[in-house]
Structure 1
Amino acid sequence: MAPAFALDPRQRRWTRELRQLAVERLRPLTGSAPPGRVNRPLVGALGELGLLARVFPAGGRAAAMDLCLLRESLAQECTEAETALALQGLGAHPLVLAGTPAQRAHWLARVTEGRAVIAFALSEAGAGSDAAALALRAEPAGEGWVLRGGKTWISNAPDADVYTVFARTGPAAGARGITAFLVPADRPGLSGRPLAMLAPHPIGALSFDGVPVGPEDVIGEVGGGFALAMRTLELFRPSVGAFAVGMARAALRAAVAHAGQRRAFGGTLADLQAVSHQLAEMATRTEAAALLVYAAAEAYDAGERGGAGSPAGARSAMAKLFATETAQFVVDAAVQIHGACALERGHPLEHLYREVRATRIYEGATEVQRTVIARELYR
C-alpha cells in the first residue's frame, strides 16, 4: 500500500471535530486535579466522548492512523487530554493483545469508559531505554509468585487502579524470562509516590514488597512479557511522533500569529527576513515530520510489522526520531520569536516548552532510534 501523502476529507473532518472537542469539552477540565496527579474527570470525559473507544475498538486492535490523528489533534489544543488518552492506551494495550477473557471482561470496559485508570509499568532506575535490563523479581511462591523491587517514571503512578507490570520470572538475563502481570493497586505490599517532573504529568515510582500474583494475573505467557511490551511500543511509538507534530503545529500557529502582528523596527516581525525564513523552516520541518508519522502509521495498518532490526522498526524509529526532534526545534524557535513573554509561567509556549522535552527520551530515546535505523541500513 502506498503511503498517504495527504489526509482524506473524512480524516480532515474528524481532526477538526477532535480539536473542537478538545477546546470545548476537555480543556476546561485541565484544572480538575492537582498538578502531577491523575485527572479523573478528564479521563472520564475521554471515555464519555468515545475517544478511548477509538483506542480500544470492540473486537479488534486500534488502527495506528486513528491513534496518530487522535494524539496529534488533541495535542494541538490540550496536551493534558492527549497525555491522559495515550497513557490509558499504553497501559491497556497488553490486555488487548494477550489478556485472558476474565482480565478483559473485568478491566477493559472500565478503562474504555474512563471509569478505571491503568498504567504501563516497565521502566526502572537501571532499565529505561534498555528495557531488557529490568530487575524487578517475581519469586516463586506456592502456585504463583511475589514481586520484589521497584519501578520508576511510571505514568499514572501512584494513582492508577491497576498496573501492567513487567517482572523477571526466570534467571535468564536480558529479554528472556520476563513476564507481564496485571496487578490491582490494592494488592498488599504495593505502594508508590509521585515524582515532580519538568512537566507536571502524573508520573511516579512504585515499590513492590512481596506483592502476591498468581497464574490468573499473567498477561499472555510466562516468559513472554518482553515481546508483549515491544509489541505495545511498536504501535505507540509512531503516535509519540504524532503528539510531537501536534505540539509543533500549535507552536507554529502561535509564532505565525505573533510575527504577523508584533511591530518592531518600523514594521511587523514577519517583515524581517530572519523571522520569515525561520517560520518557513519551522513549517517545512513540521510537514515533513507529519508525513513520516502518517507513513509509519499506514504501514503498520497495512500489516507491516517488526521490531528493531526490521524495515517496520526502522520506519517507526524514523518517525519518532524526526518528529520529536522537530517539535523541540519548532517550540524553541517559537519561544525565540515571541521573546520574554513566552517565558512567563502560564503562557501556552512556556507550557509546550516543558511538555516537548520528554518526548525525545521516553519510549526509546533519540539515540536508541538512531541505532535502530543504522542497524537496518547494514542488514
Structure 2
Amino acid sequence: MSDSGRTASAYHPDTYGGRAGELEHFLREAARDLRGPGEELDADPDAVSRFLHLPAVRVQQHMLTPARYAGGGDLLPSFVPAEASCAEWILAAEWLAYGDPGMTLASPGPALSTAVLRALADEAQRDWFFTKTADWPSWAFFALTEPEKGSAATELTTRLDAAPGGDGWVLTGEKMYIGNGAHARAGVVFCRRAPGPWGIEAVMVDTGDPGFHAETLPIIGLRGARISRLRFDGMYIPPERILGRDRPRSRRGLQGALQAMLWFRPSVAAFALGAGRAACDYVLEQRPALAGADRARIDALADRIRRLRRLLHEVAAEIDAGSPNTFRVSGVKMRAAHLAEDATMLAARLLGPASLVEHPWLDKLYRDVRAFEFMEGTGNIHRRGVFQGLLRDDYFTPRDRDARPGRAVEGVM
C-alpha cells in the first residue's frame, strides 16, 4: 500500500478498547501492505503466490479455522483469534477490504465453507476438511450457485444419486461463480438427493477425486477471487462426506446454506464498508484542500459509513448471541453494497473527468465494489427481506422504535 494509505481517515471511526482494540490496530496496520499487491493481482490473479508471506494474507485462514488447525502463529500476534466470532471477523473483513478487497478474497483459507462446517459437521468431518485447508497455502470453495438457477437453494438441479451397489453417492451437475473454485483443494457442494426443500444435501468434496472439473471465468472486478465454473461428472462421494448425515432432513443441507448466508452477509457488508471508506480517504489524500460543497459530500458519505458500521456490529453481535434478525442482516448488506458504489462514483466525480484513467487504483476499486451487489443476494432479494420484517414489525429493535418520528434509521430501504 502506498504512503497515501497512511493518512488520517475521512472521519473518526468507532474504535474499540482492550483486546478488540489491539486487533483493530493490528488489522489496520497489516492492511497497508495489501494495496500494491492488489493492483498486481488485478493484472494477474495467480500473483497471489508472491504475497503469501504477508501477515494480512494469513488472517482469513487463521480466523476462519478452528484453533487446533489454524496456522500463521509465527506471523500473527496472539490476540488474532482462531475460529473467530462474527463480530471479530467483520472487523477483520472491513480493514482488510480497506487495504484491498480483491487481495482479501484471494487469500488462502476455508472461506464460506466455515459456517456450513460449524452448523452441520461432526468431529470426523471437521477433521477431514480443516486438515486439508490448514496446509499452507490451501483454498476451499462454497458451491451453491448454479448456471440456470442462481443461488435459489430450493431449486438446485445438481444431483446426488445412489452409487451403483449402494455404497456411497454420485455427484452430477454444475456450479457457477464460485470463488477460488478452480484452485481449491476441497469444498462444500449443495445438491439435491430428493424432491422438496428437505431433499437438499451439503457434501464435502476433494478436488483431486475423479469427476471434478473446473475453469476460471473472465471477470472485470475482484479478479483475485478467481471466480470459477465447476462441473461434477459422476463424482463419487463417500457416505461420511454428507454433512449432518445423522440429523433429520429439516436440519441438514438447507439449514447449512441458511447458516452460511446469515454469517457471511455481514461479511460482504464489511467488505463494502471498508472499500467505501478507502474511496473517501483516497479523495482526501489526492485533494487535501477539498472544501465547500465537495467536502460536504465526502463528510455526508463518511457519516453514512459510520452509522451503517454501528448497525453492522449490532447485527454481528446478535448473530453471535444466537438471536439473529435476518431482516436487519438483509438491510445492512443491501445498504453497504450501495454505499460502496456511491463512494467510488463520488470519488470519480471529485477527482475529475479522467480520474479512472489517471488513478489506476481508483479504477480497480470502482470495478471491484460492483461485485458486492451480487454477493450473498442481490438488492431486490434483500429489499423483500426488509419489507417482510417491516410488515411483521420485526425489523426494528425497541431502541429504534423509541427514536423520534421521522428520524432515518440506517439500513432500511
Scaled by the length of structure 2, what TM-score is found?
A: 0.79
> Does residue 293 of structure 1 match 2:293?
no
Could you tell me which residue of structure 1 aligns to residue 190 of structure 2? 166
Could you tell me which residue of structure 2 aligns to residue 228 of structure 1? 256
User: Where do residues 7-86 of structure 1 align in structure 2 (5 Å cutoff)?
Assistant: 7-10=15-18, 11-24=20-33, 26-27=34-35, 29-30=37-38, 31=40, 35-37=44-46, 39-40=48-49, 42=51, 45=54, 49=58, 51-58=60-67, 61-85=83-107
SS at match of 1:253: helix
Could you tell me which residue of structure 1 aligns to residue 381 of structure 2? 368
- In 2, Cα distance between equivalents of 1:38 and 1:143: 42
212-221 vs 60-69, greater mean Cα deviation: 60-69
Query: Is the 2:159–2:191 Cα contact (8 Å) retained in structure 1?
Result: yes
- In 2, Cα distance between equivalents of 1:346 and 1:103: 47
83-92 vs 206-215, greater mean Cα deviation: 83-92
Deviation, 1:378, is 1.9
> Does residue 258 of structure 1 match 2:286?
yes
- In 2, Cα distance between equivalents of 1:81 and 1:198: 15
- In 2, Cα distance between equivalents of 1:74 and 1:81: 8
Query: Is the 2:108–2:138 Cα contact (8 Å) retained in structure 1?
Result: no
Deviation, 1:337, is 0.7
Query: Is the 1:117–1:161 Cα contact (8 Å) retained in structure 2?
Result: yes
* Residues 151 and 87 (structure 1), Cα distance of their counterparts in 2 relative to 1, 3 Å cut: farther
Could you tell me which residue of structure 1 aligns to residue 340 of structure 2? 327
Query: Is the 1:38–1:156 Cα contact (8 Å) retained in structure 2?
Result: no
Query: Is the 1:56–1:89 Cα contact (8 Å) retained in structure 2?
Result: no
Query: Is the 1:55–1:62 Cα contact (8 Å) retained in structure 2?
Result: yes
Query: Is the 1:181–1:217 Cα contact (8 Å) retained in structure 2?
Result: yes
One-letter amino acid matched to 2:298: L
> Does residue 183 of structure 1 match 2:205?
yes
One-letter amino acid matched to 1:323: A
* Residues 251 and 12 (structure 1), Cα distance of their counterparts in 2 relative to 1, 3 Å cut: farther
SS at match of 1:339: coil
One-letter amino acid matched to 2:379: T
Q: For residues 123-145 of structure 1, give each alpha carbon's deviation from its aligned partner in whole angstroms, at most 9, with x where no partner exists.
A: 00122242321110111112222
One-letter amino acid matched to 1:209: D
Of the three residues 277, 281, 284, the one matched with 2:303 is 284
What is the aligned length? 357
Could you tell me which residue of structure 1 aligns to residue 321 of structure 2? 302
> Does residue 239 of structure 1 match 2:292?
no
Could you tell me which residue of structure 1 aligns to residue 329 of structure 2? 316
Deviation, 1:91, is 2.5
Unaligned runs of 5+ in 2: 1-12, 69-81, 393-413
Query: Is the 2:61–2:108 Cα contact (8 Å) retained in structure 1?
Result: no
Q: For residues 42-72 of structure 1, give each alpha carbon's deviation from its aligned partner in whole angstroms, at most 9, with x where no partner exists.
A: 5675698455322234389531111111000
* RMSD (Å), alpha carbons: 2.6
* Residues 86 and 12 (structure 1), Cα distance of their counterparts in 2 relative to 1, 3 Å cut: farther
User: Where do residues 101-116 of structure 1 align in structure 2 (5 Å cutoff)?
Assistant: 101-112=123-134, 114-116=136-138
Could you tell me which residue of structure 1 aligns to residue 153 of structure 2? 131
Q: For residues 233-270 of structure 1, give each alpha carbon's deviation from its aligned partner in whole angstroms, at most 9, with x where no partner exists.
A: 11111111111010011000011222324xxxxxxxx2
Percent identical across equivalent pairs? 27
* Residues 326 and 124 (structure 1), Cα distance of their counterparts in 2 relative to 1, 3 Å cut: same
- In 2, Cα distance between equivalents of 1:210 and 1:365: 32
Unaligned runs of 5+ in 1: 262-269, 306-311
Could you tell me which residue of structure 2 aligns to residue 140 of structure 1? 162
One-letter amino acid matched to 2:240: E
Scaled by the length of structure 1, what TM-score is found?
A: 0.86
